[in-house]
Chains A and B, each alone.
Chain A
């Protein structure tokens, strides 16, 4: 098992550019989610999914899109990057109601 694979690990964008953060898991987990982590604010939920074809908004969804066409993949799209989206992003997956969450290694995004 590779666990949760997040790519890229680092990315620099200019304001207005678009990009996709990839997240894949090979553990057949129903639950997948994206978080951003900013200094002094802790982790905040962006979007999450409880199964293929199902997505829902978290605490800070504006400026981000997601889709869940397969169980394995949950990409996060920034359609028009803004400096306020400079952050470290984490993807996580897990089996619903069993507790353990598995996190990716994180992606550091800088928007200039």
Chain B
């Protein structure tokens, strides 16, 4: 079993829909990261969380440390949100372990 599990692996939505991507992990962490990989391959950092909730524009990330679970929500989804979303957990010494990613496609 991987230390970081993401679900779903693939997600197709219609423009405007509310989207949730889940990340579960099995180890003790110091922080959790959400990343976005564009169709061209570039990777950008969206959030780092160690507790609670963060919001940036239409993106919201939450984490429940006790349940070892995080969610990434996208409100009012748009075709430009189509990308791979990657969850990564940070353990002691700044080591990162990644989930396999969730491929999101938003259709107009």
Q: Please give the residue numbers on chain A whose beta carbons come within 8 Å of chain B beta carbons, in ascending order.
A: 31, 33, 35, 40-45, 48, 50, 56, 58-59, 88, 90, 92, 94, 96, 98-103, 105-106
Which of B12-20, B67-75, B97-105 lies at the interface? B97-105
A59→B97 contact, CB < 8 A? yes
The distance from the CB of A52 to the nearest CB of chain B, in whole angstroms, is 15
A103→B48 contact, CB < 8 A? no
Q: Give the interface size bracket for B toward A.
A: 20 to 34
- List residues of chain B with CB within 8 A of the CB of A48: 94-96
B31 an interface residue at 8 Å Cβ cutoff? yes
B45→A105 contact, CB < 8 A? no
Question: Would you mind naming 28 contact pairs between A and B with Cβ atoms under 8 Å apart?
Answer: A33-B96, A35-B98, A41-B100, A42-B86, A42-B98, A42-B99, A42-B100, A45-B97, A45-B98, A48-B95, A50-B94, A56-B93, A56-B95, A58-B95, A88-B41, A92-B43, A96-B94, A98-B48, A99-B47, A100-B48, A101-B35, A101-B45, A102-B45, A103-B45, A105-B41, A105-B42, A106-B42, A106-B43
- List residues of chain A with CB within 8 A of the CB of B44: 103
- List residues of chain A with CB within 8 A of the CB of B100: 40-42
Known contacts A90-B43, A99-B45, A106-B41: A43-B88 contact under CB 8 Å:
yes
Among residues of B, the one whose C-beta sits closest to the C-beta of A40 is: B100
B88→A31 contact, CB < 8 A? no
- List residues of chain B with CB within 8 A of the CB of A43: 86, 88, 96, 98
Among residues of A, the one whose C-beta sits closest to the C-beta of B4 is: A42
Q: Please give the residue numbers on chain B whose beta carbons come within 8 Å of chain A beta carbons, in ascending order.
A: 31, 33, 35, 41-45, 47-48, 86, 88, 93-101
| Neighbour of A101 across the interface among B33, B42, B95, CB < 8 A | B33
The distance from the CB of A12 to the nearest CB of chain B, in whole angstroms, is 18
The distance from the CB of A36 to the nearest CB of chain B, in whole angstroms, is 11
- List residues of chain A with CB within 8 A of the CB of B94: 31, 48, 50, 96
A99→B41 contact, CB < 8 A? no
Among residues of B, the one whose C-beta sits closest to the C-beta of A43 is: B98
